[in-house]
Amino acid sequence: MTSFLIAAFLLLILVLALLLRPFFFWGLEQGTSRRQMNASIYREELDKLEAERLAGVVDEVIYEQTHAEMRQRLFQDTEVADDLATVRSPKKTIVGVCIFVALLSIGFYFVLGEATRVAEQKIQQPMNQESVEKMVNEFATKLEKEPDNLKGWAMLARSYRVLGRNQDAVNAYARAGSYIDSDPQLLADYADALASNANGSFAGKPIQLINKALALDPNNLLALWLSGTAAFGAQDYSGAIQSWEKLAKQLPPTSDEARGIAESIAEARLKGRLPPASTPTPVPMAGLKGISGSISIAPELKSQLKSGDVLMVIARKPGERMPVAVLRAPLTTFPMNYLLDDALAMSPNTLISALAEVVVEVRISKTGMAMPEAGDLISTAKTVKVGSSNVQLVVDRVRP
C-alpha cells in the first residue's frame, strides 16, 4: 500500500511539472508588445508610400495628405497602454491547475478502484492445489528448523488435514505435543486423523482423545459426531444416539447437517431395535393427519431383494430435500402397508400434519445407510395431499 502511494505521488508531481512548465519559465521569454507591432506596421506603410512617390505613382499633394493621415493614426494607436503577449498572473494559474489535477486524480482513484480493493481482489483469486502444496511444504521445511514451535506444528497438522494428507497430519499433531492438550477442537481433529488412518477404527488413542475433548468441551460438534460414530461402530447404538441427539440440538433444524444427523439417529434406532423418539408434545392419534397406503415391487426386481435390506418410506415438503417424516422397517412380504404421521417426524418444528401436500417415495437400501447409494431400489416420487389413504407406491427402478 505504501509503495503504491509513493509511486502515485511521484507520478502526480511529474504530470504537474509537465503541465506547469510554461508558467515556471514565463519571465525568460518576453513577448512582443502591441506598440512595437503598430510601429513596425506603419513603418512599412510609410516606406511603401515613399517608394510610390519616388516612382511617380502619387504626386506631392496626395503624398503629403496620406503621410499626414498615417502619422495621425500612428500617434493614436501608440497612445494605447502597452501590454505584453504573456501571462501576467502565473501564480493563480499554477494553483488552479494543481487543485484541478489533484481532485481529478482522487476522483479516478475512488471511482475506478482504490489500492486496497485491488489488493483484496488479488488475495481473493483462487489458489490452485500446486501452489497450496508448495506453501505447506515450505512451512514444513521452516518448522524443521524450529522443533519447539508447537503452535506451528498444530497449524501444519490442520493444513495437512485440509489437503487430505492424514498420515502427515498425525505426525505433525504428535510433534505439537502439549499444545493441543487444552484445545478440544485440535484433540478431536487429531482423533479423526488417527481413525482415518486406521480404516475407521476408534479403538485405543482415538477414543481417548475424543473423551478428553468432550471433557474440555461437552458440546464440541466434531467430538460429539466422532463419539457417536465410534459408538455406532462398536454397536453401542444407545450411546451413538445419545451423542448425536446432543449434536443435533446445536444445529439449525432445516440444515443439511441436521438432516444427515437425523437420518443417522433413525438408522441407529433401527439397527438397535430401539423405539422411535417421541414428539415433545404428543397429540392424540385421532387428531393427526398423515398418509397411508401400500407398497409393491416390480416382479423383475424381486430377485434383487436380500435379507438385511431396509425399506424406507420418505415424505418431503415439495421443493425441499429435508424429509419431514421417514418410516424405516425391515423387509417383509409384498405388498406391505405403511403409515406416515407426526410420530415419524424428523423435526418437531416441521410436522407432516401441518402441510397441505408432500412428495412421497420408497427406497430399499442395500446397505442400510441413511444416504441414497447406487444400487438402491427406488419408486417414482408422488405428490399427494396430506390425509390421503390408499396411496399406492411401486418399487420399479434401480438407483444408478
For 247-285, give the secondary structure using H, E and C: HHCCCCCCCHHHHHHHHHHHHHHHHCCCCCCCCCCCCCH
pLDDT at position 127 is 54
Q: What residue has cell string 444416539?
A: 241
User: What is the Cα–Cα distance from 116 to 135, expressed in whole angstroms?
Assistant: 24
DSSP letters spanning 108-155: HHHHH--HHHHHHHHHHSPPPHHHHHHHHHHHHHHHHT-TT-HHHHHH
Classify domain 129-271 by CATH number. 1.25.40.10
Give, in order, the Cα–Cα distances in Å from 311 to each of 38, 186, 192, 340: 113, 39, 31, 13
Q: Which residues contact 162 (CB under 8 A, 6 or more apart)?
A: none
Write out the three cell numbers for 341.
404421521
Give strand ranges (E) for the chain. Answer: 291-297, 310-316, 323-330, 336-340, 357-365, 377-379, 382-385, 391-398
3-state helix, strand, coil in the chain (%, to 5): 55, 15, 30
The neighbouring-strand residues paired with 296 are 394
pLDDT at position 57 is 73
Whether residue 193 contacts residue 166, with contact meaning beta carbons closer than 8 Å, is answered with yes
287-398 under CATH 2.60.40, yes or no = yes
- Which residues of the chain form CATH 2.60.40? 287-398
Whether residue 307 contacts residue 330, with contact meaning beta carbons closer than 8 Å, is answered with no
pLDDT at position 202 is 92
Longest dimension (CA), the chain: 145
The neighbouring-strand residues paired with 69 are none
Q: Which residues of the chain have pLDDT under 70?
A: 1-5, 7-8, 16, 18-39, 42, 74-95, 97, 101, 105, 107-129, 275-288, 368-370
User: What is the Cα–Cα distance from 229 to 264, expressed in whole angstroms?
Assistant: 9
User: What is the Cα–Cα distance from 81 to 84, expressed in whole angstroms?
Assistant: 10
Q: Return phi, psi of residue 128, to 5°.
A: -85, 170
pLDDT at position 357 is 92
pLDDT at position 85 is 46
Q: Are β-strands 391-398 and 377-379 bridged in parallel, bridged antiparallel, or unpaired? A: antiparallel
Sign of the dihedral through C-alpha 42, 43, 44, 46: positive
Model confidence pLDDT, tens digit, residues 94-137 = 667 677 767 776 766 665 555 555 555 555 555 566 777 888 88
Whether residue 149 contacts residue 141, with contact meaning beta carbons closer than 8 Å, is answered with no
pLDDT at position 329 is 77
Identify the three-state secondary structure at position 367: coil
Give, in order, the Cα–Cα distances in Å from 123 to each of 115, 120, 127: 12, 5, 9
First-residue to last-residue Cα distance in the chain: 55
Instruction: Residue 187: name the closest of 233, 227, 148 by CA.
Output: 227
Instruction: Residue 16: name the closest of 98, 108, 107, 99 by CA.
Output: 98
Percent above pLDDT 70 for the chain: 73
- Which residues of the chain form CATH 1.25.40.10? 129-271
Rg of the Cα trace of the chain? 46
